[in-house]
Amino acid sequence: MPAPTILLPHDPFSERRTDPHYSAEARLVRGLGGDTALVDHDALLAGRAVHAVRLVPAGLGPVWYRGWMLPVEAYAAFGRALADRGCQLLTTPAGYAAAHELPGWYRTFEGATPDSVWLPAGSGSVTLGALEQAAGQLGGSGPAIVKDFVKSRKHEWEEACFIPELADLPAVARVVRRFVELQGEFLAGGVVLRRFHAFAGATEPGGGARVAEARVWWMDGEPVLTGPHPDTPGVLPEPDLAAVRPLVRALGCRFVTTDLALRADGGGWMVVEVGDGQVSDLPRGTEVSALFASLIAA
Ligand SMILES: Nc1ncnc2c1ncn2[C@@H]1O[C@H](COP(=O)(O)OP(=O)(O)O)[C@@H](O)[C@H]1O
Ligand SMILES: [Mg+2]
């Protein structure tokens, strides 16, 4: 089988150039002897997958994507449009959904990740009754956080992320509804409530977003790169991966990331979130050749 080609988004202003956010990755791949091709991210988001892959040479065979996050439906359409050109995404649409959206990976990581429940986020579905039931499933009291199937609004921590007390239903509703409002049309899937844990590095619950996480990149169940989380590029924790490795293997996706944080109460490392490796951001200033070498050797 030929070596996989790495597909990257093109510059929104020039379809001949790599998006500046990914140009260092493109250079790295080519420096390692790998091939790259460009795709149109805006067209993928707009539901125009066939147009989006017009610059991908036909018959490339296996491909990985490295680019901005895509909704699962857009990724599925991307895969079909590529297949029509004789190119196979090495992460299937089902695999992408499993790693990218919390309900896809949660059961596999249950116990190693904060307890979580989710509800649909359609207009009017975040009722007090639904929130009470969800809070009850998390034990009914104590702090929590809200996010959607993919992202939180951690930069609006007090207003739209952190829930100080699940038993205070009006306050739960205020934070969750503000989250839904701010996500707007970009809300992915539904609303997730997760039990809050104090992680090492945080000074207080409100400091959760300053936790120093480790982002571990896995290829075929092996850790190929452990780096800082992109939000804290200067802090490199050294997580113990013994408990996480079998869970990543059980998930069965070839290329994923896990963000790990150390519980402040001595409970060990927890998986804060799982991600598809194709759309996880790399920390600045970390040596990532090994990661790309394993991608083009896959
Ligand atoms: N259950 C939790 N307990 C404590 N802190 C959390 C919890 N979930 C998330 N956080 C904090 O909020 C941040 C954002 O949450 P995360 O699930 O990683 O969403 P995002 O996709 O927006 O990065 C995390 O980096 C972590 O610092
Ligand atoms: Mg995160």
Name the residue of 106, 109, 118, 152 to mutate for ligand 1: max ligand atoms within 8 A of Cβ. 152
Whether 205 shows a pLDDT value over 70: the answer reads: no
Whether 235 shows a pLDDT value over 90: the answer reads: no
Whether 207 shows a pLDDT value over 90: the answer reads: no
- Which residue, by CA, sits nearest to atom 1 of ligand 1? 196
114-171 pLDDT per residue, tens:
999 999 887 677 999 999 999 999 999 999 999 999 999 999 999 999 999 999 999 9
Distance 83 CA to ligand 2 centre (A): 31
Distance 261 CA to ligand 1 centre (A): 9
Which residue ranges form the domains of the chain, and what is each CATH number?
5-90 (no CATH), 99-105+199-281 (3.30.470), 115-195 (3.30.1490)
> Residue 220's closest CA among 250, 256, 254, 257?
254
Distance 205 CA to ligand 1 centre (A): 11
The beta-strand segments (E) located in 90-154 are: 116-120, 144-148
Q: Distance (Å, rounded) from C-alpha 138 to C-alpha 132? A: 10
The predicted pLDDT at position 72 comes to 97
Whether 208 shows a pLDDT value over 70: the answer reads: no
Burial (0-12, 13-18, 19+ Cβ within 10 Å), 168: middle
Distance 65 CA to ligand 1 centre (A): 25
Structure tokens at 138: 């998390």
The beta-strand segments (E) located in the chain are: 5-11, 14-18, 36-39, 61-65, 87-89, 116-120, 144-148, 162-163, 190-195, 214-219, 222-228, 255-262, 269-276
Q: Distance (Å, rounded) from C-alpha 202 to C-alpha 210? A: 6
Distance 118 CA to ligand 2 centre (A): 17
Arithmetic mean of pLDDT, 241-260? 97
Q: Which amino acid is at 178?
A: R
Whether 215 shows a pLDDT value over 80: the answer reads: yes
How confident is the prediction for the chain on average, in pLDDT? Answer: 93
- Cβ contact 179:153 at 8 Å: yes
> Residue 85's closest CA among 114, 61, 115, 121?
61
161-181 pLDDT per residue, tens:
999 999 999 999 999 999 999
- Which residue, by CA, sits nearest to atom 21 of ligand 1? 151
Whether 254 shows a pLDDT value over 60: the answer reads: yes
The predicted pLDDT at position 210 comes to 62
**Element spanning 100, H or E:** helix 93-100
Any ligand 1 atom below 6 A from CB of 291: no
The predicted pLDDT at position 73 comes to 97
Cα–Cα–Cα angle for 131, 134, 137, nearest 5°? 150
Residues paired with 113 in a beta bridge: 110
Q: Which atom of ligand 1 is nearest to the CA of 275?
A: 21
Any ligand 1 atom below 6 A from CB of 295: no
Distance 234 CA to ligand 2 centre (A): 16
Whether 32 shows a pLDDT value over 70: the answer reads: yes
Distance 54 CA to ligand 2 centre (A): 32
Any ligand 1 atom below 6 A from CB of 151: yes
- Cβ contact 175:192 at 8 Å: no
The predicted pLDDT at position 138 comes to 98
Structure tokens at 211: 């936790």
Name the residue of 145, 187, 232 to mutate for ligand 1: max ligand atoms within 8 A of Cβ. 145
**Element spanning 103, H or E:** helix 102-109
295 alpha carbon, distance to own chain's centre:
18
Residues with CB under 5 A from ligand 2 (ion): 273
59-99 pLDDT per residue, tens:
999 999 999 999 999 999 999 999 999 999 999 999 999 99
